[in-house]
């Protein structure tokens, strides 16, 4: 087997301020662009029908991209057509401020471009318990699907190998074997689940373990990934590694850099990983398909070994058949109640609007980066929300 790979790094530290400025340039440019002209039939999603009259202030802390594209303004304007007495106070700067807003009691709604972290859930649980509640974590509601290939807009995770590699498809269990390691359990929210434990015998470290022969048989798989301080690994861990946070011991990690591009934008970690993979026939990574080059190829994925194996396409991300699509979330705290876990009905009414055909149409007509939900998923999320309303 091959020895340890050299760790890719820089010869000098990165200036955090310069990196933030480079990121802002890229986000501003993409915010103004329409990424998809393809529209989806949303006629099966019911139109918005108010359940109550809203006259309160709805406070939102969290995801910046709803603000930078103007989508939040469109949603709020549409909502006020039905509820002219409603007002909004928005602090939409980052998903990182969402749970602090909820925990401090300064936000009614917390939109996020990723699932909540363990520490965020634990903080909310402890705060509610200290305030005399029952220690429930906030309600999670999915309001749209992440993008197909827009950097920053929760793009679907593509699995890539060098184009010379004869491997043609993979399952999620095989990805777990490649990217993960033996484990004693995994997190499901705040619950430690020992049923997902597995031994090192299920580790996949050579291409021969995936059925390749000849010169590939004994070649070690070189695994490239985001550094573990990013939120991408947390979401990949939840989807593939069963929440174990146990990674391949030879994982080679990357971080964003800047200074090489004439337009002032940064070179994101996913782009660097794909570039490295182009020179490594034995490598594999997960990244965004927008960084595809002629020297690498994406692999169809399946949830089970029996299939179906699904290609990473715009349509398969929107219809949620591609296994590694991603979601956009709203979180809201439960109100103290002796018998039921209830949420604020005025804030919930705004989410009812977003989950309606009116709200979902705005996603593809105005934002055109995030993707609207399917009718089945919109109905599922609406049921989840309404099950915690007083009148149910």
Query: pLDDT tens digits for 346-371?
Result: 999 999 999 999 999 999 999 889 99
pLDDT of res. 382: 98
Does residue 188 belong to any structural domain of this protein? yes
Q: Which candidate, 15, 40, 128, 34, places its Cα nearest to that of 360? A: 40
Determine, yes or no, domain membership for 338: yes
Q: Are residues 168 and 276 in the same domain?
A: yes
Q: What is the distance between the alpha carbons of residues 298 and 276, in angstroms, rounded to a whole number?
A: 15
My answer on whether 277 and 377 are in the same domain is: no
**DSSP state letter for 378:** H
Same domain, 165 and 305: yes
pLDDT of 9 reads 47
Q: What is the pLDDT of residue 258?
A: 63
Q: Evaluate whether residue 20 is within a structural domain.
A: no
Task: Based on the fold, state whether residues 333 and 351 are members of the same structural domain.
Answer: yes
C-beta separation of 241 from 176 below 8 A: yes
Report the number of distinct structural domains present in the chain: 2
Looking at the structure, tell me whether residues 114 and 184 fall in a common domain: no
121 and 163 in a single domain? The answer is no
One domain for residues 144 and 161: no
Task: Single out the residue of 201, 203, 200 nearest to residue 220, CA to CA.
Answer: 203
As a dihedral over the C-alpha atoms of residue 341, residue 345, residue 351, residue 356, rounded to 10 degrees, the angle is 110
Side-chain-side CA neighbours of 30 within 13 Å: the count stands at: 21
Identify the pLDDT of residue 308: 98
- Where do the H-state alpha helices sit in 49-171? 65-68, 71-82, 98-103, 118-130
Q: Phi, psi at residue 116, to the nearest 5°?
A: -60, 145
Q: Are residues 306 and 362 in the same domain?
A: no
Write down the pLDDT at residue 2: 44
Residue 151: strand, helix, or coil: coil
144 and 195 fall within a common domain: no
Phi, psi torsion values for 348, nearest 5 degrees: -65, -30
Instruction: Identify whether 320 is part of a domain.
Output: no
Rg (CA), the chain: 22
Task: Classify residue 183: in a domain, yes or no.
Answer: yes
| CATH assignment of the domain containing 63 | 3.40.190.10
Q: Is residue 169 part of a domain?
A: yes
Domain boundary among 252, 278, 311: 311
Same domain, 226 and 331: no
| 15 falls within a domain | no
Question: In which domain, by residue range, is 47 found?
Answer: 34-148+325-386
Handedness of CA 283, 288, 293, 299 (dihedral sign): positive
Spacing of C-alpha 27 from chain mean position: 17
pLDDT below 50 — which residues of the chain?
Answer: 1-7, 9-11, 19, 22
Residue 392 lies in a domain: no
HSE toward the beta carbon, residue 383, CA cutoff 13 A? 6
Residues 279, 260, single domain; the answer is yes
Residues 331 and 187 in one domain: no
């Amino acid at each position: 087997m091959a020895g340890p790979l050299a760790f890719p790094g820089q010869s000098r530290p990165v200036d955090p301020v310069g990196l933030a400025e480079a990121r802002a340039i890229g986000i501003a440019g993409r915010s103004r662009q329409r990424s998809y002209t393809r529209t989806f039939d949303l006629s099966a999603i019911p139109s918005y029908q108010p359940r109550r009259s809203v006259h309160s202030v709805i406070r939102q802390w969290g995801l910046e991209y709803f603000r930078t594209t103007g989508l939040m303004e469109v949603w709020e304007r549409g909502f006020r057509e039905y509820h002219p007495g409603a007002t909004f106070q928005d602090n939409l700067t980052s998903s990182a401020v969402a749970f602090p807003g909820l925990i401090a009691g300064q936000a009614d709604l917390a939109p996020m471009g990723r699932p909540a972290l363990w520490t965020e859930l634990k903080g909310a649980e402890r705060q509610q318990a200290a305030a005399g509640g029952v220690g429930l974590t906030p309600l999670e509601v999915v309001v749209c699907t992440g993008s197909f290939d827009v950097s920053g807009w929760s793009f679907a995770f593509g699995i890539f190998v060098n184009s010379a590699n004869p491997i043609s498809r993979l399952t999620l269990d095989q990805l777990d074997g490649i990217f993960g390691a033996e484990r004693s359990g995994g997190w499901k929210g705040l619950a430690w689940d020992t049923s997902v434990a597995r031994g090192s015998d299920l580790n996949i470290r050579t291409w021969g373990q995936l059925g390749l022969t000849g010169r590939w048989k004994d070649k070690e798989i070189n695994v490239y990934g985001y550094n573990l301080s990013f939120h991408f690994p947390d979401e990949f861990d939840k989807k593939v590694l069963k929440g174990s946070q146990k990674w391949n011991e030879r994982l080679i990690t990357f971080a964003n850099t800047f200074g090489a591009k004439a337009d002032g934008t940064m070179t994101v970690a996913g782009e660097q990983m794909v570039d490295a993979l182009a020179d490594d026939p034995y490598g594999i990574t997960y990244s965004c398909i927008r960084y595809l080059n002629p020297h690498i190829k994406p692999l169809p994925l399946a949830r089970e070994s029996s299939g179906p194996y699904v290609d990473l396409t715009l349509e398969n991300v929107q219809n949620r058949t591609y296994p590694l699509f991603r979601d956009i979330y709203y979180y809201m705290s439960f109100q103290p109640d002796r018998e039921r876990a209830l949420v604020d009905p005025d804030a919930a009414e705004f989410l009812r609007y977003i989950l309606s055909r009116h709200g979902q149409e705005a996603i593809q007509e105005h934002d055109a980066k995030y993707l609207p939900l399917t009718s089945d998923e919109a109905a599922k999320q609406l049921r989840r929300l309404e099950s915690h309303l007083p009148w149910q």
